Amino acid sequence: MKRLNATSCIATALLLLAFGEYAFAVSNDYSASINLAVNRWLAVQKSSGFMPYGFDFLEGEEFEPITMSAANLTRQAGTASVLADYYALTKDQRTRPVIQRFLRAFGRYSLPIGKNWMQTLVENFHLLSMPFGRYKIHAALNRFGLLYETTGPGKVLSPNADYSKAYTGAVALALLTELRYSQTSGDTSFADLRHAWLEGLIGLRIPGDGFRQIPTSIDATPYFDGEAWLALAQYHRAFPQDRRVNEFLADVDAALMKKYGGAFKIDFFHWGTMAAAARYADTKEKKFLDFIKAQTGSFLDRKKDHVDNDNNCYSVEGVADALGALLSAGEGGGELAKQAMGWVATEMRKAKQLQIQPGQNEIVFSNARVIAPRMQEFSGSFRSGIYTANTQVDFTAHCVSAMVKLKKYNETSSGK
C-alpha cells in the first residue's frame, strides 16, 4: 500500500473538517469501481466499434443486438466521451484503441450537412425561434428545402441515412470524445472528423437560442442544448486561439444562460452545469459561477425529502462539477457545497449497490430474490435502479463519469 504524503493527509483532513460525514464522496478513490466498469468495456466492445446497448435480466434479452436506434447511437457517443475522460485522467493506454474504434464507427455513421445562403438568411431573421405559427413555418421551410443541405462541410451522426434520426446530441458527444482523446494522446488522425462535427454542430444552432434537435426540426431540446454547449466549451479549451468559435461560444453562453437561468429544466441541468463549470474553469468569470450556483441550488431544492431509488449518476456528474467550481472559487465550505456533498454521498452509496460485482448472479430485495445467471457476464455494469433488473450502457457511463470527476477533484485537492 502506498504511503500518503503530507499534502495528501492535510487535504483529507481539510475535507473531513469541511464536509464531516460526507467527505468520503470526494475523498473516496473509486478506483476499484471504475476499473471494474472499464475492464468490462475493454472486453465486450463489438467489431462494429460499439458496446452492447443493454440487457434485461428478467427477460434474458439484449437490447438492440443487431440494430441501432438514434438513442442508442447518442448513448454510445456519450459512453465514448466518458472513456476518453477516463483516458485523460489515467493515461491508461489499453483504452486508446477502444476509443479509436469508437471514433471510426462514428465516422461511418456520419452524414454530410450544410446550408445555403437562403437558409442562412431565414435563420438571421429569427424565423426558427418565432413563438407562433411554428408548425406552418416548419412546413414551409421543409417544403422549400430550407432546413438543411445534404452536402457541405459539416457532418451529423445518424443510425441510417435518415436526417430525421440525426440527433444533435450524438454529434456533440462524438466531438467531445475526439477532443478529449486527441488532447490526451496527441493523435491527430481524426482531425478531419473533428472539424466536420464542429461544423455540423455550428450549423444546427438557432440564432439567439439553443440547437435544433435534428436537422429536420426547428425545435431545441434541453438535453441537446447542454451537450452541444459542453462540446463547444471543450473545443474552446483545446483551441483557445480559434476566434470564430470563441465568438460563437460567447453568444451560446449568453443565450443558454438566459434561457435556462430563468426556467430550471431538469433535462438541461447536468449537461448545462458541466458546460458552465468548464467555462468557469477557463475564464473565472463570475457569471458562470453564479449560473452554476443557481442551477445546483434549484436542483437540490427539488431533491429535498425525496426518496429516489433510481440510478442518478447522470445528475451526480453535474453536481460533481458544481462542487469542483465551488472549491475552485473558495466556497467549498459554504452551505450550498455542503448540501451538494450530502446529496452526492447518498447517491454514491446507492451507486455502489447498483454495480454488478464479479460472480454476482442474483438481486436480493426485501421480499424477493431474483436469480439471473447471466448477470455474472456483466460484472462492472450498473443497473438502472435499486428495484430493477436491467442495465444499459449509458447508466454505466454516467456512473463512471461521476466517479472519474470525484476522483479527479480528490487528486487535485491532494496535490497529486
Any domain includes 57? no
Any domain includes 406? no
The CA distance from 215 to 23, in Å, is 45
pLDDT score for 125 = 79
Any domain includes 190? yes
pLDDT score for 11 = 43
Question: In the chain, which residues have pLDDT < 70?
Answer: 1-27, 412-416
Domain count, the chain: 1
Any domain includes 202? yes
Any domain includes 270? no
pLDDT score for 366 = 78
pLDDT score for 14 = 42
Any domain includes 311? no
Residues 79, 216, 52, CA angle at the centre, nearest 5°? 25
Any domain includes 339? no
Inter-residue contact 353 to 365 (CB < 8 Å): no
pLDDT score for 82 = 98
At position 46, the amino acid (one-letter code) is K
- C-alpha distances out from residue 48 to 100, 104, 180, Å: 12, 9, 21
Confidence (pTM): 0.92
Any domain includes 345? no
Backbone conformation region of residue 382, classed left if phi is above 0, alpha if psi is from -120 to 50, else beta: beta
Q: What is the pLDDT of residues 114-141, one digit of tens each?
A: 999 988 888 887 878 888 888 899 999 9
- The residue segments making up the domain with residue 197 are 67-263
